[in-house]
Amino acid sequence: MTPPSTEKIEALIDGSGEAAALLEWRAQLRAEGRKLVMTNGCFDLLHAGHVRYLAQARALGDALLVALNDDESVRGLKGPARPVNPAGDRREVIEALRSIDRVAVFRGDRVTELVAALQPDIYAKGGDYTVDSLHPGERAALEACAAEIHILPMVEGRSTSATLARLREDTPRRLRLGVLGSGSGTNLQAIFDAIDRGDLDAEVNLVLSDVADAGILRRAEKRGVPAVWVDPGPYRTKLGEAARKEMRDRLRAADVDLVLLAGFMRLVRGPLLESFSGRMLNIHPSLLPDFPGLEAWCQALKAGVSETGCTVHLVDDGMDTGPIVLQQRVPVVDGDTPATLHARIQEAEHRIYPLAVAKVAQELGLIPDADGGGSSNAGTPTPKAESP
């Protein structure tokens, strides 16, 4: 096992001179045959769930090191309003707990390099994770040093997000949207345009993509909206478990009310879908249930139909099978090519997606139903059937 260098740890943690002391402490634990337990997190609003979790982690070994995300990484992971308390305060509070032996504030989103440097005997994580949903780099570092991985149960009803939500209960706010996309982001732009026109009283708080260079990320960045690429994992048509959890956690941290899929090309399942059940929408370029799946406009042309269209629906665990919110017809005309038909369908998508968002938000009580007819005045789509 290669011993970690002082310079290596100095580059990873905040605090002048801390690396040498941390290394000396780690070497002493080894010499005494004592097991080091390591955990990490933001811990920016400490509550009873945290205290009990840390006590359980400490009981797994002989000494507990808590690696705290620095303020910059908390903002990246949890949103611009976090951390609630700065790193110095978070460290002071955690160090005061009797279960804690040492605290280190680390730089960056991931604890991978600190794990590789300190080589803990045991690694603890909360019950909202599984071994498979750990970040692949962190898991590889833990396996490389043969650390035992323990997933500890969560304390029911105790979470930072729930605490913040209770504090905000009586504070009026706009509808908060999270968006997932894989492409250029034209439907995201339609949402932005509806907001700018005053047709949709909302704000986009986070945009996530499974494609590192997707245009939707650039659109969001230009607007000043946090935009994050999430490594989708090894699968072609679905998200890996770590990606599903990371997206769920980022959307929760952004405190979004609704999640919109805008050209997102992977099936959404597991904890990501469960956390936003009934609050996740997708737009599809056909009059569902006709022509689900890829390139629906090509399917329509091949079938020889006289009209197709687009559908906004709630997301379930099937492919384009969730309850329909709103539809708009688009005629198929003589001479249509896949490109010309797709372009007209996209125009319809851009009209109805903001309307459908407002409709669902009103039905869920997230925004007022002005005069019983919603807040949008962008025009009424012609549905194939009455929207449910």
**Active-site residue list:** 284
370: DSSP letter:
G
What's the maximum distance between 2 C-alpha atoms anywhere in the chain?
83
Report the distance separating Cα 253 and Cα 75, nearest Å: 10
Torsion angle, CA of 284/287/293/295, rounded to 10 degrees?
A: -80
Backbone angles phi, psi at 210, to 5 degrees: -90, 0
Report the distance separating Cα 339 and Cα 67, nearest Å: 52
Report the distance separating Cα 223 and Cα 204, nearest Å: 10
Strands (E), 109-235: 122-126, 148-152, 175-181, 202-209, 227-229
Contact (CB, 8 A) for 209 and 182? yes
- What the block records as the tokens of 329 is 């017809």
CA 44 → CA 93, 160, 198, 377, distances in Å? 10, 8, 35, 42
